[in-house]
Structure 1
Amino acid sequence: MVASAAASSGREVGVVAGAGLSERRRMAIFFVMAVGQFMALLDIQIVASSMNAIQAGLSAAADEIDWLQTAYLMAEIVMIPLSAYLAQALSTRWMFVASAGLFTVASLMCGLAWDLQSMLLFRVVQGFVGGAMIPLVFATGFSFFDGPRRAMVTSVLGVISTLSPALGPAVGGWITDTESWRWLFLINVVPGALVTAGLVWLGPFDRAQPSLLPRIDWVHAASLAVFLGGLQYVLEEGPRHQWFADATIASVAWIAAVGAVVFFERCFFSHSPVVSLAPFRRKGFWAAGVLSFVTGVGLYTITYLTPVFLARVRDFPSHSIGLTTFVAGVFMTASAPVAAWTATKIDMRICMAIGLVLYALSFWMISAVGSDWGFWQLFWIQAVRGAGVLFCMVPSVSMALNNLPDAELKPASGLINLMRNLGGALGIALVNTGLQRYFAWHVQQLAQSLGRAPQDAMAAVAGLAQRLAIDMPSPDQAPMAARAAIGQMVAREALTGAFQDVFRLCAWVFIAALAAVPFCRGGSMMPDETQHHH
């Protein structure tokens, strides 16, 4: 612990990001970095609705193609906490330039990939360098701006962080339908090159500390990769393979657990730890981390569940799913100025409580979902959720990063973004497992209900068979078609019931999260000059 503290203090030497820069140049740097963050976040889900096309194009097996997302997420989650150390060593500017440049090259190579193995290699590179851009933008925004501008910066990044994953499947589906799946990646080349060149042209805004590179603790870095990469793999693949009943999942989980033990030991006893846990010593940071974790649960689960419901229950095409889910993005964007203004006027704990209540309300409203619900039934639910997202995002990030010394901003930003991503990964894994188990339970309940009234069930099948026989080439086929139709109806209603149960559980998660709010650091986002930049 003593060695870790000494190393941390050594990193704090005179690194004040943005010192002496004009307001216009700060805004330009922030805007360019925000575009890079948008690209990295969009590419997480941009392949989601195009898996079949990519699978056919690369001649891949059905059980292999899911690695397109798993590989990206595993690499991204490793880099998010590691980015702070590398940015201190190389400077934020050159770290971001290198990340954006490599992301652009990796995107080009993904678009030119010749088989699944080459695609996965370039997706790993994409995810790894993309993971560096996400926390560095938050840290730079908090270092550059104070008060109302900082609140607006947080809102802008909140919109990007929440809207990008939601837009990914819709944008990806549209690109694949109109052009080719290869353009899912090739569209990054021009904006990626502009971000890289733009940040070089805008000049330096913080100092590098290259002396950190020879002192890097490689055991710590390796254990970080094993711990977080393994954890992400288990959370991604667990629901598909019955969790620890699968030998591979169980083995990776044990390896990740060993990596976690080594990682935390190095955090406390390494002379030069690659991840600093110093922010957790500050008042309320752990509580803000918990709330960021819960925000990730809500953000990623609802972004995942709504399209899945519309596709599996309503059989909506991708463009209709995109149109329906885009409502939340509209209200999210519209609420950004309100969330930013509120955060500068009242205690951020109150803002956070408002966001949690709105999120819980939206989950509770959608827990009444019916198998016939579509755009208009979901409209106001998504409006409530869209308004609540930034009332969670802005306070959770701000309570963690507000008034931190510049030397702690990058590590703190990495940790808070890591918590949100882990919340999303765990949330999706749990709701997938919940859907499977609740679906089986509802099928059993519906089957028992039909079994208690067999005459009514037989009459329903017979009546349906009579109606279907009119359009059948042979009347003998009608009973079989009727039984299949009844089976589909039972499956649809059972799946709808499973969605209802999962949505209700998510609502309770947000209600329970209110207990963490009083432990956060209070106050508005107006600057505390006694602490910032010291």
Structure 2
Amino acid sequence: MFLSLFYGAKETKPLFAVISVFLGAVLSTLFIRMFSLSLADIRGVFAFDMQEGTWINVSLNSAQLISMTLTPWFMVTLGAEKILMSTSAILLGIFLSTPLLGGYYGFEVLIVIHFILGLCLGVYLPMTISLALRSLQPSVWLIVMAAYSLRVSLGMDAGVGISGTLVDTFSWQWLYWVCAFFAVLIFIFAWKGIPLSKVNYALLSETDWGGMALKSLSLVLLYVAVVQGEMLGWENSGFIISCLISSVILFGIFICRALFFDKTFAQPHWLANRNLCLCFIISCLYGFLMLANSLFVPSFLSSIGELKPQQIGEVTNIAFIVYLLFSPIAVWLAKRIDARLLMTVGVALIGCSCILGMQVDYQWRVHEFIPLMVIQSIGECLVLIGLIASFVVNMQPQFALHLGAYVSIARVLMPAISGALMNTYLRISFDEHFDAKRAFIQTGEQKLLSEDTSLTLLSLINREAYVGSFINGFSLTFIIVIIALILILFLKPLPKNNIVPHNE
């Protein structure tokens, strides 16, 4: 009987399979978020400068972008259980060894290690919905969607406090060791929940390696250009310009091949389905819609409030708790009202949080942001559940595999691009406010200095310029909210399904 514990599954156990992929989705989102937030501490440990640190983060995320793009195909040809167990075993080895041996690694070795980490972490997200829906009854699909959407808030919101606690209370090594525990559980549940399947050699022989290379490389080049653009100087950097031009050319070649040749990788024919196309665009905009909780509030509390990540986690944890508690309500609503209305209400709530954010001033701290983050979290929950439901019920079997290759754009590329572009916009806005306020203050400098002796002139200008830039950031997000609402208006009624309400 004891030896039976080491035997793999003879038949699929749906609960074990779902737990395995959901743990993987949580691990992927949480580690990526914790690593980016703790990058400054990790740079200090390995004595890297800022540019070297960003390249390690770029290698991690670009590898995730590649594996997310390719996983749907190899999941069908090789089998989900092989991918889950092999990647989890590799992750376990890296998560355990890096904190112990990291001091002996150079910059190049760490780049390679985190690239491998990204490749392994990227396989979980594409598997989650497809494997969960395939294993469970339609009656519980909405619950699965809600649980899946929860990993976004767990990573973006709770990840701030978790990373701060691990680094400040324990040490940076625990960022890896905690994730090693997840890797063990993923391997066990996959081993006991999904039987080994045969490799589909016939389908594997039809693999379009050229199309895979073109699409993956074009997305990575775009990601590198946008993420590193602010540091390297955008139009002043030949490297950034080359990456952007190369990305456009390679993606153009990929699309031409996909349109004019049969049996190519990731054919874009699903774009002809209006609902799928609009849902995909809205999912790409979702990266901008969630910036209030994921970027604006943490950055404001860090730059203006001078709070540490562990302290910022006090308010971001509230956002996660609200998301968690509201998820059952969102599922109840999704079973009774149209997904389009659900998304409309969610986007409108995000717009309300943006309006609240436009009222921010330098005195705002944790308590002042709580109403904003509560409204934002409820809005994010409604939008994401409605969006996932719309994708699932509009999906046609002939589109499933090809659409899966594009999901990485919405899940990884666009959140990174939205954050990078918004950071650039905040920097430009800060410079404009700084120059304007400095010119204004110079005309009445003597009067100002006599009235305010607790602050230096430079810190006062900096503070108000930061506040002005965040107000502009909320304003720009509000414009994205309006665009998303317009796109929702053009969605057709959902087709007949047994998941969410539809028009007969």
TM-score scaled by length of structure 2:
0.90
Distance 1:524 1:216, change over 3 A: closer
Is 1:450 aligned to 2:441, yes or no?
Answer: yes
Q: CA RMSD in A?
A: 2.4
Is 1:346 aligned to 2:346, yes or no?
Answer: no
Question: Relative to structure 2, which stretch is displaced further, 128-137 or 293-302?
Answer: 293-302
1:241 partner amino acid: L
1:184 partner amino acid: L
Question: Is 2:330–2:381's contact at 8 Å kept on the other side of the alignment?
Answer: yes
Is 1:515 aligned to 2:486, yes or no?
Answer: yes
User: What is the CA–CA distance in structure 1 between the aligned matches of 2:198 and 2:484, rounded to whole Å?
Assistant: 39
Distance 1:205 1:67, change over 3 A: same
Question: Relative to structure 2, which stretch is displaced further, 310-319 or 178-187?
Answer: 178-187
Is 1:237 aligned to 2:228, yes or no?
Answer: yes
Quote the offset at 1:28 in angstroms.
Answer: 2.6
Q: In structure 2, what is the equivalent of residue 478 of structure 1?
A: none
SS of corresponding position for 2:449: helix
Quote the offset at 1:422 in angstroms.
Answer: 2.9
User: What is the CA–CA distance in structure 2 between the aligned matches of 1:98 and 1:267, rounded to whole Å?
Assistant: 30
Deviations 1:485-520 (A, max 9, x none): 121011111110010011111012112211111333
Quote the offset at 1:120 in angstroms.
Answer: 1.7
Q: In structure 2, what is the equivalent of residue 330 of structure 1?
A: 321
Deviations 1:422-445 (A, max 9, x none): 331221122111111111111122
Question: Relative to structure 2, which stretch is displaced further, 114-123 or 155-164?
Answer: 114-123
Distance 1:374 1:394, change over 3 A: same
Question: Is 2:85–2:191's contact at 8 Å kept on the other side of the alignment?
Answer: yes
1:92 partner amino acid: A
Question: Is 2:17–2:131's contact at 8 Å kept on the other side of the alignment?
Answer: no
Is 1:135 aligned to 2:126, yes or no?
Answer: yes
Deviations 1:256-296 (A, max 9, x none): 12221222123224444332434323341001101111112
Is 1:88 aligned to 2:63, yes or no?
Answer: no
User: What is the CA–CA distance in structure 2 between the aligned matches of 1:409 and 1:90, rounded to whole Å?
Assistant: 17
How many residues are treated as equivalent by the alignment?
A: 488
Percent of paired sites with the same residue: 18
Quote the offset at 1:129 in angstroms.
Answer: 1.9
User: What is the CA–CA distance in structure 2 between the aligned matches of 1:37 and 1:362, rounded to whole Å?
Assistant: 27
Is 1:370 aligned to 2:358, yes or no?
Answer: no
Q: Counterparts of 1:191-202 in structure 2 under 5 Å?
A: 191-202=182-193
Is 1:493 aligned to 2:481, yes or no?
Answer: no
Q: 1:502 aligns with which of 473, 476, 488?
A: 473
User: What is the CA–CA distance in structure 2 between the aligned matches of 1:464 and 1:517, rounded to whole Å?
Assistant: 50
Distance 1:436 1:402, change over 3 A: same
User: What is the CA–CA distance in structure 1 between the aligned matches of 2:331 and 2:246, rounded to whole Å?
Assistant: 43
2:22 partner amino acid: A
Question: Is 1:136–1:410's contact at 8 Å kept on the other side of the alignment?
Answer: no
Question: Relative to structure 2, which stretch is displaced further, 96-105 or 519-528?
Answer: 519-528
Distance 1:270 1:58, change over 3 A: farther
User: What is the CA–CA distance in structure 2 between the aligned matches of 1:236 and 1:451, rounded to whole Å?
Assistant: 36
Question: Is 1:148–1:341's contact at 8 Å kept on the other side of the alignment?
Answer: no
1:193 partner amino acid: V
Deviations 1:333-356 (A, max 9, x none): 111111112112111111111111
User: What is the CA–CA distance in structure 1 between the aligned matches of 2:48 and 2:352, rounded to whole Å?
Assistant: 42
1:514 partner amino acid: L
Quote the offset at 1:323 in angstroms.
Answer: 0.8
Distance 1:95 1:276, change over 3 A: farther
User: What is the CA–CA distance in structure 1 between the aligned matches of 2:150 and 2:392, rounded to whole Å?
Assistant: 18
1:493 partner amino acid: E
Question: Is 1:148–1:526's contact at 8 Å kept on the other side of the alignment?
Answer: no
Distance 1:343 1:192, change over 3 A: same
Question: Is 1:151–1:340's contact at 8 Å kept on the other side of the alignment?
Answer: yes
Distance 1:47 1:331, change over 3 A: same
Larger radius of gyration: 1
Q: 2:250 aligns with which of 223, 241, 259?
A: 259
SS of corresponding position for 2:122: helix
Question: Relative to structure 2, which stretch is displaced further, 496-505 or 400-409?
Answer: 400-409
2:490 partner amino acid: F
User: What is the CA–CA distance in structure 1 between the aligned matches of 2:395 and 2:256, rounded to whole Å?
Assistant: 25
Distance 1:406 1:296, change over 3 A: same
Distance 1:248 1:343, change over 3 A: same
Q: 1:54 aligns with which of 30, 39, 42?
A: 42
Question: Relative to structure 2, which stretch is displaced further, 269-278 or 291-300?
Answer: 269-278
2:366 partner amino acid: F
Question: Relative to structure 2, which stretch is displaced further, 117-126 or 32-41?
Answer: 117-126
Quote the offset at 1:460 in angstroms.
Answer: 3.0
Question: Is 1:85–1:275's contact at 8 Å kept on the other side of the alignment?
Answer: no
Q: In structure 2, what is the equivalent of residue 169 of structure 1?
A: 160
Question: Relative to structure 2, which stretch is displaced further, 363-372 or 301-310?
Answer: 301-310
Is 1:299 aligned to 2:290, yes or no?
Answer: yes
1:104 partner amino acid: L
Question: Is 1:403–1:528's contact at 8 Å kept on the other side of the alignment?
Answer: no
User: What is the CA–CA distance in structure 1 between the aligned matches of 2:322 and 2:496, rounded to whole Å?
Assistant: 23
Unpaired segments of 5 or more residues in structure 1? 1-19, 469-481, 530-534
Question: Relative to structure 2, which stretch is displaced further, 234-243 or 267-276?
Answer: 267-276
Unpaired segments of 5 or more residues in structure 2? 1-9
Question: Is 2:266–2:403's contact at 8 Å kept on the other side of the alignment?
Answer: no
Q: In structure 2, what is the equivalent of residue 473 of structure 1?
A: none
Question: Is 1:298–1:359's contact at 8 Å kept on the other side of the alignment?
Answer: yes
Deviations 1:301-321 (A, max 9, x none): 640222111101110122111
Distance 1:94 1:520, change over 3 A: farther
Q: In structure 2, what is the equivalent of residue 28 of structure 1?
A: 16
Distance 1:405 1:200, change over 3 A: farther
Is 1:384 aligned to 2:378, yes or no?
Answer: no
SS of corresponding position for 2:53: coil
Quote the offset at 1:209 in angstroms.
Answer: 2.2
Deviations 1:338-391 (A, max 9, x none): 111211211111111111111111112112111111111101110001111111
Distance 1:109 1:122, change over 3 A: farther
Q: In structure 1, what is the equivalent of residue 60 of structure 2?
A: 72
Q: In structure 1, what is the equivalent of residue 201 of structure 2?
A: 210
Q: In structure 1, what is the equivalent of residue 498 of structure 2?
A: 527
Is 1:98 aligned to 2:76, yes or no?
Answer: no
Q: In structure 2, what is the equivalent of residue 476 of structure 1?
A: none
1:86 partner amino acid: F
SS of corresponding position for 1:64: helix
Deviations 1:405-453 (A, max 9, x none): 556445434434532433312211221111111111111221232233x
User: What is the CA–CA distance in structure 2 between the aligned matches of 1:253 and 1:66, rounded to whole Å?
Assistant: 18
SS of corresponding position for 1:498: helix
